[in-house]
């Protein structure tokens, strides 16, 4: 860590920790995660070293950080902040780069262009029964579900499962702007299969012989010279394609038994 000359009058430990707090929080470390804050005091602080042409003091420091990096298959709860034909964008409040693609939606689901929302229609969905429930909800002032299914409205709380972590590093090279992405995800495929990409996961998700294997890392590079949009440095691909996942309101516990006990 570099300590500028303006901080030489301060105790060394205090100056170093101030520099750590200014440099690392809210920063993504490649293939590590999003730094939240410094954890506790510094473990080791070396002697200050002066470098030619630099008036600051450089210290070798061992310290700990609180980092956000969910593991693959971890279940989290967030809020829907955007919806389009490609899928849903979810926020955790401090992190917004979470995307649920169309192929990881609960099946069967479809996108409604008129409302701009995704709608889940369960196989045993009864539209007439739901219409009656909506009427009762309207009388009680509770939120209603779409008569053609369950809408995933913006601002709704949603439970999702992490499927892949993607770290992207953009560098300027002789060939132009290059983006190198490291993806951590589970390997989907049988003994003779090479299905590791999200689209391949989608095609293999309905087969019985393709079971998720161990967590793997893979890297790829893309030329961004003619691309105006820079990808996020940390990106999470998530899924709601399982029972219990999706909007929290879909899986609320039934309170009929509790109400009967209260009446007795």
Number of neighbouring beta carbons within 10 Å of residue 34: 18
96 pLDDT higher than 60: yes
- Quote the CA–CA distance of 161 and 147 in Å, as a whole number: 27
**Greater confidence, 78 or 123?**
78
- Reference 106, options 238, 252, 254; nearest CA is 238
Q: Which phi and psi (to 5°) does residue 29 adopt?
A: -95, 125
Task: Give the pLDDT band (50/70/90) at residue 143.
Answer: very low
- Quote the CA–CA distance of 137 and 164 in Å, as a whole number: 38
What average pLDDT score do residues 87-104 get? 95
Average pLDDT, the chain: 81
- Using an 8 Å Cβ cutoff, are 118 and 133 in contact? no
What average pLDDT score do residues 94-113 get? 93
* Least confident span in 95-109, 160-174, 199-213: 199-213
The predicted structure's pLDDT at residue 145: 47
Residue 250 structure tokens: 């879909």
Contacts of 122 (CB under 8 A, 6+ apart): 149, 150
């Amino acid at each position: 860590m570099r300590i500028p000359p303006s901080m030489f009058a301060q105790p060394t430990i205090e100056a170093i920790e101030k520099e750590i707090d200014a440099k690392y929080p809210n920063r993504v470390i490649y293939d590590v995660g999003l730094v939240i804050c410094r954890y506790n005091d510094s473990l080791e602080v070396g002697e200050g070293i002066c470098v030619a042409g630099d008036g600051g003091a450089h210290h070798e420091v061992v310290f700990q950080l609180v980092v956000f990096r969910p593991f693959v298959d971890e279940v989290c709860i967030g809020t829907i902040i955007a919806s389009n034909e490609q899928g849903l964008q979810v926020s955790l409040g401090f992190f917004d780069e979470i995307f649920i693609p169309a192929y990881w939606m609960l099946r069967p689901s479809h996108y409604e262009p008129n409302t701009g929302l995704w709608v889940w229609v369960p196989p045993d969905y009864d539209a007439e029964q739901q219409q009656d429930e909506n009427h009762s909800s309207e009388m009680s002032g509770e939120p209603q579900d779409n008569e053609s299914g369950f809408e995933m409205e913006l601002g709704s709380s949603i439970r999702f499962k992490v499927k892949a972590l993607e770290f992207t590093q953009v560098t300027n090279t002789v060939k132009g702007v290059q983006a190198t992405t490291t993806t951590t995800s589970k390997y989907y495929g049988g003994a003779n299969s090479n299905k590791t990409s999200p689209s391949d996961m989608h095609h293999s998700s309905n087969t019985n012989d393709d079971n998720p294997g161990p967590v793997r890392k893979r890297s790829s590079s893309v030329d961004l010279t003619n691309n105006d949009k820079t990808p996020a440095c940390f990106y999470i691909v998530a899924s709601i394609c399982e029972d219990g996942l999706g909007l929290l309101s879909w899986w609320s516990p039934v309170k009929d038994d509790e109400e009967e006990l209260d009446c007795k």
